[in-house]
Structure 1
Amino acid sequence: MADQNSFQFGVEIELLLGSRKKAHANWKSLAKDLSKRLLKAGIANHVNEGNEKTQENYLEWSIVQEVTIPSQPAKNLFGLELVSPVYPIYAYWAADLATIFNALHASFTLVASPHCSTHVHISGAPAALSGPELAALAKAVLYYEPALDQLVPPGRRSSTAYWCQSNRVNPSLCSLANLADCLAVIDAAAASSGAGNVRPVVEAMNLFPAASAYGRAHGKKQDFVRGKVYKWDFTGMLPPHGRGTVEFRQAPGSLIADDATAWITLTAAFVMGAMAVGPQLSGVGGGGGASLEDLWALLTGGAQALGWDGLGAVEGLFAHSG
């Protein structure tokens, strides 16, 4: 990645919450209450009832319904997602997260749920990640997967976790028992990518089987790209509808500001570190992949390249790993 090319990101924070002060008949009522309290705290936001993906919806925080989180109306609990605006990686975003979670805890009960997650979308700025940079990231994702697994709850490690499966179970890689062979597939995909064409790398990481229940239901005759079921979703890099982002989907739900801050910091440092380390991974990986110590070194290097003084809240993830 060129020295002048930094990052911008967005975060989606899934929550199961209920008001401490009043009962709500439905999700919409709770969302309007939350919106009002965030506005009072100084956080510009709106309720995005239709979960529209238009550019205007990313100019400020938005509140959307999250149907994958089972609501419990009898307990006054509803699932929703807070979607951030696009932030430069060097901006004031950590202060905004602190303000948001202070407002949440002042007026609402946040319930831990295995259905909740924290998704971080990241892109190059001002230039998008190139094909070689995307391949470097893809190889780092595969090589460092065992270490990243140790930072998340068990339910977000297994390939049976539908919404954050290992990228190695996709049809491009699932028949390969050796990590080195998987990395070779990424190298081959990068080599076959023309100028500005990253599709071969995306397909190597995010194919989904036509024979799956989803594929059959949608009439698919051949394997197809579908990123929202894998730990890392590269499909945002594909035109015409992609926004030039890669999404880290494995992180669990965030109940405090430090949780969300840690996952954003980790994602940015990981991507930056991968730019330097990824190209060197060709031909390695005959064993089980990276250790926690290897991952820490990658993240430290990424943080230094970003000009950060340490990794902050990420240290807490390592302190509770295992």
Structure 2
Amino acid sequence: MSTSRISDCPGLRFGVEIELVVRSKRRKHTTFESLASEICQHLDKAKISSHIGSLSQKSNATETYHDWTIIRDSTLPSTPEENIFGVELVSPIFYFQKKHIWAVQVQKLWRVLESQFEVHATKECSTHVHLSPGNGPWSLNEAKGIAKATIFFERCIDALMPGHRRINPYCMSNRRNPEYNQLHVPLIFSNISQAESPETLGDHMCLCSKDSIHAQQTLHDEDFVHPHFRWNFTSLTERTRTIEFRQPPASKDAKDTITWILFAVSFAQWASERANTALDPTQTDGIADLYKYVMAGAQLSGVSNATMPGLLEKLFQGAKRLPVPRYDLKSMTEDEHDKMEMEGKKKGIPLDKYKELFAYV
């Protein structure tokens, strides 16, 4: 993204999807529609426009989407007899530089949730951020820059996540997909550089293994393209024309949601402008470099409020780059499982924790 684009139009646009498990504090709802109606009522009182939608409606969202959409998420834990439902709150499309609009709405949204509802950020929940330029779709060169940066910094970004988001099949590793797993980073960069279209780039970045749970669900017996990766590039060719950051965990409050928006936008802003020339694929990524580039992206994006860069600093506090993973949980044999368990025991690390450090999906 060129400097002129930033001056001509307000930087990047984004939409955020917040997944939560919700129960009303004051009413008993036996259906999702009843709960969603109460959420909309409280949002309306807070002067936040919203409506009850569906997953199909979300997938068909357009640039004219102006309000929040409340959607039932069947992948999240729901217990209707206990008045508990999995809920996805999908934001309108925001311009990042208009913080006086989007940050205020996120804060108001969370005040409503915290005051009127019991909100549970379970491990099944996550926070997704969709990204696009402010004045049109990503250029192929910009998308390639982001793709290279996600590959290069994957284990550093993994270090910013809770362990369960490193081995979750709904945010699989782009670096360890069937297209790239056996390649060194310089060859991956070359492959990305040679992509002739956004569709080709998405196919390479989001190739899903025939051994994955998604292949089992869709009856694929060969590798195929699927959106459930840390960074989803398949939507580059869909109506929204976005790049989706799917790895962040559930937001527990407004600060969490704002932090992941800040990180995603800042990382993508820098990567789209600088990664093609700044990253050396023969070198090893480091947390200090990622932090430097994310903070540079924040500055490029126009982040001037001292509180917001403070959130990014807190995200990086104490983080260390994770080791290269060695075990593919999708196709692990019994012998490999036993070996992994024994390695963990020798190091005094419980198996679940060892998986989070040394395995991938």
TM > 0.5 fold call = yes
Note if 1:44 corresponds to 2:49: yes
Q: Which residue of 2 aligns with 1:89?
A: 96
Note if 1:61 corresponds to 2:56: no
> What one-letter code is carried by the residue in structure 2 that aligns with 1:233?
N
Q: Which residue of 1 aligns with 2:246?
A: 249
Contact 1:152 1:321 in 2 (8 A): no
Shift of 1:58: 2.4
In structure 1, what is the Cα distance between the partners aligned to 2:296 and 2:55? Answer: 41
Shift of 1:305: 1.2
1:260 and 1:55, CA in 2 relative to 1: closer, same or farther beyond 3 A?
A: same
Q: Which residue of 1 aligns with 2:299?
A: 304
Contact 1:60 1:84 in 2 (8 A): yes
Contact 1:203 1:225 in 2 (8 A): yes
Structure 1: give runs of 5+ residues left out of the alignment: none
Contact 1:139 1:183 in 2 (8 A): yes
1:276 and 1:65, CA in 2 relative to 1: closer, same or farther beyond 3 A?
A: same
In structure 2, what is the Cα distance between the partners aligned to 1:41 and 1:22? Answer: 19
SS at match of 1:8: strand
Note if 1:226 corresponds to 2:221: no
Note if 1:102 corresponds to 2:128: no
SS at match of 2:86: strand
Instruction: Give a deviation string over 1:215-273, Cα, whole Å, max 9, x none.
Output: 4664657543211x2100011111xx332100000000112111000000101100011
Contact 1:10 1:121 in 2 (8 A): yes
In structure 2, what is the Cα distance between the partners aligned to 1:282 and 1:7? Answer: 22
In structure 1, what is the Cα distance between the partners aligned to 2:257 and 2:213? Answer: 33
Structure 2: give runs of 5+ residues left out of the alignment: 321-361
Shift of 1:320: 6.2
1:45 and 1:123, CA in 2 relative to 1: closer, same or farther beyond 3 A?
A: same
Q: 1:24 aligns with which of 23, 29, 52?
A: 29
SS at match of 1:11: strand
Q: Which residue of 1 aligns with 2:186?
A: 180
Q: Which residue of 1 aligns with 2:205?
A: 205
TM-score of the pair, normalised by structure 2: 0.79
In structure 2, what is the Cα distance between the partners aligned to 1:213 and 1:108? Answer: 33
Shift of 1:283: 5.0
Q: Which residue of 1 aligns with 2:268?
A: 271
In structure 1, what is the Cα distance between the partners aligned to 2:27 and 2:282? Answer: 55
SS at match of 2:18: strand
TM-score of the pair, normalised by structure 1: 0.89
1:33 and 1:216, CA in 2 relative to 1: closer, same or farther beyond 3 A?
A: closer
> What one-letter code is carried by the residue in structure 2 that aligns with 1:187?
S
> What one-letter code is carried by the residue in structure 2 that aligns with 1:317?
L
In structure 1, what is the Cα distance between the partners aligned to 2:224 and 2:26? Answer: 47
Shift of 1:23: 1.6
Q: Which residue of 2 aligns with 1:293?
A: 288
Contact 1:140 1:277 in 2 (8 A): no
1:245 and 1:80, CA in 2 relative to 1: closer, same or farther beyond 3 A?
A: same
Instruction: Give a deviation string over 1:196-230, Cα, whole Å, max 9, x none.
Output: x3222112201223565644664657543211x21
Instruction: Give a deviation string over 1:59-78, Cα, whole Å, max 9, x none.
Output: 21010001111112343321
1:55 and 1:250, CA in 2 relative to 1: closer, same or farther beyond 3 A?
A: closer
In structure 2, what is the Cα distance between the partners aligned to 1:49 and 1:302? Answer: 34
In structure 1, what is the Cα distance between the partners aligned to 2:201 and 2:292? Answer: 25
Contact 1:262 1:312 in 2 (8 A): no
Percent of aligned pairs with the same amino acid:
31
Q: Which residue of 2 aligns with 1:78?
A: 85
In structure 1, what is the Cα distance between the partners aligned to 2:242 and 2:212? Answer: 26
1:285 and 1:115, CA in 2 relative to 1: closer, same or farther beyond 3 A?
A: farther
In structure 2, what is the Cα distance between the partners aligned to 1:40 and 1:82? Answer: 17
